[in-house]
Amino acid sequence: MHNQRLDRLTDYPFQRLRALLQDVAPAAGVEPIAMHIGEPHHTPPAFVSQILLEHAKDWGRYPPSNGTPELRTAIADWLTRRYALPADFVDPDTHVQPVAGSREGLFMAALATVPTEQPRQPAVLMPNPLYQAYIGAAVVSGAEPVLVDATLENGFQPNYEELAPDLLDRTALAFINSPANPQGSVLSLDRLRALVTLARRHDFVLAFDECYGEIYTSEAPAGGLQACAALGDDISNVLVFNSLSKRSSVPGLRSGFIAGDPDLIRMIRRLRDYGGATLPMPVMAASAALWADENHVEASRDLYRRKFGIAAELLNGHAGTQAPGGSFFLWLNVGDSEAAAQRLWQEAAIRVLPGAFLAHQTERGNPGQPFVRLALVDDLDTTHRAFQRLANTLPANP
Instruction: Please give the DSSP secondary-structure letter assigned to residue 29.
Output: T
pLDDT (tens digit, 9 = 90+) per residue, 273-299? 998 889 999 999 999 999 999 999 999
pLDDT tens digits in sequence order for the chain, 398 residues long = 888 888 888 778 999 999 999 999 998 899 999 999 999 999 999 999 999 999 999 999 999 999 999 999 999 999 999 999 999 999 999 999 999 999 999 999 999 999 998 889 999 999 999 999 999 999 999 999 999 999 999 999 999 999 999 999 999 999 999 999 999 999 999 999 999 999 999 999 999 999 999 999 889 999 999 999 999 989 999 999 999 999 999 999 999 999 999 999 999 999 999 988 899 999 999 999 999 999 999 999 999 999 999 999 999 888 777 889 999 999 999 999 999 999 999 999 999 999 999 999 988 899 999 999 999 999 999 999 999 999 999 866 55
Fold of 4-43+296-393: Aspartate Aminotransferase, domain 1 (3.90.1150)
Whether the domain at 4-43+296-393 and the domain at 57-293 fall into the same CATH topology: no
Buried b (16+ CB within 10 A) or exposed e, 48-58: beebbeebeeb
Write the DSSP assignment of 35-71 as a string of letters.
-SS----SPPPTHHHHHHHHTGGGGGSPPPTT--HHH
Closest CA to 249 of 293, 217, 219, 281: 293
Write the DSSP assignment of 81-148 as a string of letters.
HHTTPPTTSS-TTTSEEEESSHHHHHHHHHHHHS-SS-SS--EEEEEES--HHHHHHHHHTTPEEEEE
Domain range summary for the chain, segments of one domain joined by +: 4-43+296-393, 57-293
Helix (H) or strand (E) holding 243: strand 238-243
- CATH second-level architecture of 57-293? 3-Layer(aba) Sandwich (3.40)
Q: Model's pTM, two decimal places?
A: 0.95
